[in-house]
Amino acid sequence: MLYFTFFLVAAAVAGTVPRARSHGAAVWELIVAMFEWFGDFAKFVTRVARAALTPPYEWRELLRQLDAIGAKSAPLVALAGAATGVVLSLQTRDSLARFGAKSMLPAIIVFSMIRETGPIITGLVVSGRVSAGIGAELGSMKVTEQIDAMEASAVDPYKFLAATRVVACILVLPLLTLIADFCGILMGWIANTLAQPVSPRFFLDNGFKDVVFSDFLPPTFKTAVFGFIIGGVACFQGMRTSGGTEGVGRSTTSAVVLSSLFVILADVLLVRLILFFYS
């Protein structure tokens, strides 16, 4: 099982499954391709960071990306958060009723949303929507040589195209997480009220009475890391596109798959770090 998981991850990073004759040669090609991908990605991130920190800054393009990535993702994130809150309320209520602990339902919904469910749902929803858009947009610009034309016109594509999108993703992910948390808690209360009327004040008092800032701030701001992963991977895959329209399709697919995969892996590591420092 571990080998199969590694094979899928390496194949996703490499962009294709090697067609080597021997089993060992296929594994070796995957390992080499994976290290090459991470090496190229590290160089790309370094160049984007340098472009983002060096004036002049592309404020107008950054604002446009904040709208395209943040404002236009908000309805989808709100819907996903609301659906999650309803499911948490329905499933948890039935389980707690068996043990006579229905009074703990508000606290469970609040803690579940703000500590883990809200951030990871936001990361995955934005990863699916934004990675596909960025990968397809930059991939199309690459294969039609628009990026080459920008460089010929003395416009740095890493500053204008990549840095603005990565910074926008980093800035909007925590804000979108707040929207998901709010909608999840609100719909959790509504779903609970439909089964057994509960005043919003009672629900919120019981839900937030044991919540402290260390329960709220680290899980919310860890989504900035998700934003860096989503923006960085999507821009990298888009700007290295080759092979015409077929290559654009591959870049779009790989951007979504890799960003979602890395968001999940980053969440595992960050949860462990948060528990280590704040438990």
Task: Count CB atoms within 10 A of the CB of residue 219.
Answer: 25
Average model confidence (pLDDT) for the chain? 86
Cα(259)–Cα(165) distance, rounded to whole angstroms? 14
pLDDT digits (tens, 9 = 90+) for 30-80: 788 888 899 999 999 999 999 999 888 889 999 999 999 999 999 999 999
Residue 2's pLDDT band (boundaries 50, 70, 90)? very low
pLDDT at 247: 86
Give the least confident one: 5-9, 28-32, 194-198. Answer: 5-9
Residue-wise pLDDT tens digits, 101-116: 777 888 889 999 998 8
| Confidence category of residue 262, pLDDT binned at 50, 70, 90 | very high
Cα distance between residue 98 and residue 89, in whole Å: 14
Taking the C-alpha atoms of residue 267 and residue 263, their distance in angstroms, rounded to an integer, is 6
- Could you check whether the bond before residue 119 is cis, i.e. omega within 30 degrees of 0? no
Taking residues 259-277, report their average pLDDT: 91
Contact 163, 54 (CB under 8 A): no
Domain boundaries, the chain: 77-278
Give the DSSP per-residue string, 65-120.
HIIIIIITTHHHHHHHHHHHHHHHHHHHHHHHHHTT-GGGHHHHHHHHIIIIIHHH
